[in-house]
Structure formats: C-alpha cells, structure tokens
Amino acid sequence: MSSPETLPPLIVVAGATASGKTALSLALAEALAAQGRPAEIISADSRQVYRGMDIGTAKVTPEERARVRHYGLDLVDPDQPFSVADFADHAAAALSGMAQRGAVAILAGGTGFYLRAVARGLAVDELPWNTDVRADIEQSLISDGLTTLVAELRRIAPSRAAELDLRNPRRVVRALEMARLRGDAPLPQPRGYGRAVLWLGLSVTPQVLRERIDSRARAQFDAGLVDETRALIARFDPSGRSFSGIGYSEAIGVIEDRLDVESAIVLDARRNLLFSRRQATWFRREPDVRWLDASTELPVKEALAAVAGYLEPAG
C-alpha cells in the first residue's frame, strides 16, 4: 500500500448512467484549478477504455480533454482484452503522476468494480482465474448462448448475479469463471486507498433519469452512432464482446437490417434503464457516500462544499 505522501487526494464521483457524473467531474476540476488546486480526472468506465467507441460510450470530447487532463480513455482496441486489474494498474500510474504534480484526483464513472478497485484498494490480484475454465465457459457461450450462462451464474452465485449486468457477455463469463472457482464467496477484503477518500454520489429521481436516458439514446443515434459502429465493424469482428455494449449492439441491428432506427433507440434506452437500476443496487452497498440530488440541476455548490471540507487549504 502506498503512503499518503505518494498518493493524491481522491474524490470519487459515482452514480447511475446519465446522472451527470462527467459534467460534475469537469465542473469540480475547473473550479479547483481556479482555486489554485490543479485536478485531473480518471474515467472509471469499462467501455470508455476502447479506442473508437466514442459516441456510444458518452466519452468526453477532445475539447473537454483539452480543458482537463483525463485518464482511463482509449487504452485498447475493441478486440483486445481489458480487465479490472489492467484498469487498477493504469489508475495507479496516473495517481502516482498526480501526486508528483500536486494534483487532486477525481475518479468518475459508473463501473462500480473499477471505482472500488481504486478507491477502496480491492485486491484484484487475489481474484481467481483459470484459462481452462474460461475457455470452457466461452465455448458454452458460443454453443449454448448467454441465457444458459446466466442461469448457471444465478444458481451457483446468486449474490454476484444480483449486482451484475447480465446482458454483458464479458462480465457474465468472468463472473461465472470466478463462481466456478470460488462459489458465491464475497470479494476479497479491500486494502484501502492509503489516505482518506471523498465519495460523492449523484442521485436522480426515476422519472427524470428515464427522460435523460431516452434523450441521450436519441442524441447518440442523431450524432452518428450507426456510422461510428459501421466504421468499427469494418475493422473489428462485430461478434467481439465490446460490441455487445448498449448502443453498439442496437446500431449493429440497424446496420444488419434487423432493427429500424426508432426501434434501436427504444431498445437502447430500455437496456440503459435496466442497467441504471443495477448500478443503483451496487452503489447502495457502498459505505460513506455523500449523496447529492442531481434531478433538477448539477449540484456543483454542494459538491464544492464537500470538497472544501475534505481538502486541506492550498499551501
């Protein structure tokens, strides 16, 4: 475990999809910079690590990256594997650099496992893996389909299944691999970050969240999600796990004439709504989160007040 002297202050911005995490993290970083406290952002989103997957993952724009330094983006091609351990290693290197520069770290995203791995020091190196077991599960995915794997996961690891995105084949395969090796045992005990962490969570009323999710799905298709997907599958196998993500599988349905655009938008929004509920279940289990209502406006003032109480005055 690193010492506090080698770790930057860490602010976590968590919440469901479309709750405003990206906007709040940018607002916090720029407000802190204006106060003489430089801040940098680590995106904790398991889909934003893929190069070229920009629209469908709601990735920050080049202009936003120019305003605030970001990490966790564009790390691998869509056909390359990427694990929570890979993310933890990437984040550790980024955090080390921030500490040297005297910057504040903002870890923002909706992938709860990524947030926990960094901010709580989850011992990801203790999570079991076995290439033979993984190969067997992946073969079952091809021959029997995702539904069969989900049924097995629910049977042997119901606790893990309850907090997982069961529409994501990559996550189901990994969860089932661990379940076959260790049953429904809880995850390894976290080791801690190494210094105090401020957890901020964004909550949004169900009706507002539904409206935002519907609006974002439509906006992404209007912004060219189908064209982005078409360019990607010209270079990468569309049956790859990364293309099962929300938005891209619907765009592929349009490209293959299995869906019209309107049906794809509706399906995209429906899947994101279900995903947001699973995220909410995960985050409710996280202790010491200061929840801020983001239903009507971005709670920048409330977040800055919490940050001011967390950070020591700038030297």
Query: Which helix (H) or strand (E) segment is 198 a member of?
Result: strand 197-203
The reported pLDDT for the residue numbered 3 is 55
Question: What is the reported pTM?
Answer: 0.86
Q: Where are the alpha helices (DSSP H) in the chain?
A: 21-34, 62-67, 84-101, 112-119, 131-144, 146-156, 158-162, 169-182, 206-222, 225-233, 248-255, 261-284, 300-310
Task: State how far the alpha carbon of 198 is from the alpha carbons of 4, 257, 306, in Å.
Answer: 14, 47, 8
Q: Residues of the chain whose pLDDT is less than 70? A: 1-5, 313-315
Domain annotation for the chain: domains and CATH numbers:
4-126+187-310 (3.40.50.300), 131-182 (no CATH)
pLDDT in tens, 151-166: 999 999 999 898 888 8
pLDDT in tens, 282-291: 898 899 999 9
The reported pLDDT for the residue numbered 5 is 64
The reported pLDDT for the residue numbered 141 is 86
CA-to-CA distance for 197 and 194, rounded, in angstroms? 9
CA angle 111, 278, 301 (to 5 degrees): 60
